[in-house]
């Protein structure tokens, strides 16, 4: 069955990423109509980019190749259950079905868990460990949101 | 005061991104020791990359320039309150203080809200609109997590 084939490919990507590149053990594949469109591995250690998770890398590549940010006709296979950054990216890309192998619990046991991030994101803004501080907006004449609304009204 | 100066710079980036590039009205700046290290704007419409939010672009650039994924000595100025993808990236980058101008409510009013994503991310896995389907792992001999644990034990 294709689902299992793509899942095993993602796991193999994860394994090779650790074996060959000493990278974190995560891989992801995006398919469309049963064909592989893009692949990604966790490149955080190699690139220093903390956002270079396997799923994000695959979404970036797929959107580049397909020239659209709407991947609603695609499916994602992630070796591990996605963190909230990648999960939100999945929503932003309109991906409706995500297959994964290793669970959040298995990630925690391997020291690779993202439970803390899920907890933090679910908290009200002023209860989070990272401080989010609202500053005053001084540009009354350069309001980016007003400009955006004006431009988009003009289109209709 | 520097905080307000950097905030206004982020808002101006957002404004220019819409005015000059017809991009979404978001900008972000990362500073270290009171100096600008990296800038980002929302490049989603230009690049098709659904993950190209201003904060993510700035984090990527800062980690590349500083050659580290640990931005704990940096501060982030975002023109708009971050979505959960960017918020998680902020945690992954160890950024402790985030300043923002436009609130989540103002984003919703402008049709640019991310309330739905916050709601979805906070739900248990099986209650989300996007289906997360756990598939069996067939590679008993190629377990990426076991390999990762083994490699990291060897280091100590």
Q: How confident is the model at residue B150 (pLDDT cuts 50, 70, 90)?
A: very high
In sequence order, the 6+-apart residues with CB closer than 8 A to the CB of B89 are: A50, A51, A85, B55, B56, B59
Give residue A138's pLDDT. Answer: 73
Check pLDDT > 70 for residue B138. Answer: yes
Give residue A156's pLDDT. Answer: 59
Q: How confident is the model at residue B70 (pLDDT cuts 50, 70, 90)?
A: very high
Instruction: Name the average pLDDT for chain A.
Output: 95
Q: How many C-beta atoms lie closer than 10 Å to residue B42's C-beta?
A: 28
Report the residue from B25, B101, B133 with minimal CB separation from A148: B25
In sequence order, the 6+-apart residues with CB closer than 8 A to the CB of B49 are: A59, A60, A63, A64, A69, B43
* Any A CB within 8 A of B87 CB: yes
Rounded Cα distance between B55 and B57, Å, is: 5
Instruction: Name the average pLDDT for chain B.
Output: 95
Give residue B116's pLDDT. Answer: 98
Q: Which chain B residues are Cβ-neighbours of A87 within 8 angstroms?
A: 84, 120-121, 130
pLDDT tens figures, B32-60? 999 999 999 999 999 999 999 999 999 99
Share of chain B above pLDDT 90, in %: 91
Q: How confident is the model at residue B136 (pLDDT cuts 50, 70, 90)?
A: confident
Q: Considering only residues A90 and A136, tell me which one the structure prediction assigns the higher pLDDT.
A: A90
Check pLDDT > 90 for residue A155. Answer: no
pLDDT tens figures, A70-125? 999 999 999 999 999 999 999 999 999 999 999 999 999 999 999 999 999 999 99
Specify the pTM: 0.96
B130·A97 Cβ contact <8 A: yes
Rounded Cα distance between B124 and B127, Å, is: 6
Check pLDDT > 70 for residue A15. Answer: yes
Check pLDDT > 90 for residue B92. Answer: yes
- Are B8 and B15 contacting, i.e. CB atoms less than 8 angstroms apart? no
Give residue A141's pLDDT. Answer: 79
Give residue B155's pLDDT. Answer: 67
Min CA distance, B72 vs chain A (Å)?
A: 11
Residue of A145, A150, A156 to mutate for B, most B C-beta atoms under 10 A: A145
Give residue B153's pLDDT. Answer: 86
């Amino acid at each position: 069955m294709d689902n299992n084939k793509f899942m095993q490919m993602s796991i193999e990507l994860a394994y090779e990423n650790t074996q060959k590149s000493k990278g974190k053990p995560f891989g992801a594949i995006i398919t469309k109509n049963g064909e592989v469109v893009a692949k990604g591995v966790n490149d955080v250690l190699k690139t220093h980019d903390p956002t270079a998770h396997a799923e994000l890398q695959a979404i970036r590549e797929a959107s580049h190749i397909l020239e659209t940010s709407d991947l609603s006709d695609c499916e994602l296979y992630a070796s591990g259950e996605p963190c909230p950054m990648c999960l939100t990216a999945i929503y932003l890309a309109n991906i409706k079905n995500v297959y994964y192998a290793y669970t959040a619990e298995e990630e925690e046991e391997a020291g690779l868990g993202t439970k803390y991030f899920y907890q933090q994101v679910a908290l009200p803004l002023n209860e989070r460990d990272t401080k989010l501080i609202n500053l005053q907006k001084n540009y009354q004449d350069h309001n980016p949101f007003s400009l955006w609304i004006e431009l988009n009204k003009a289109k209709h």
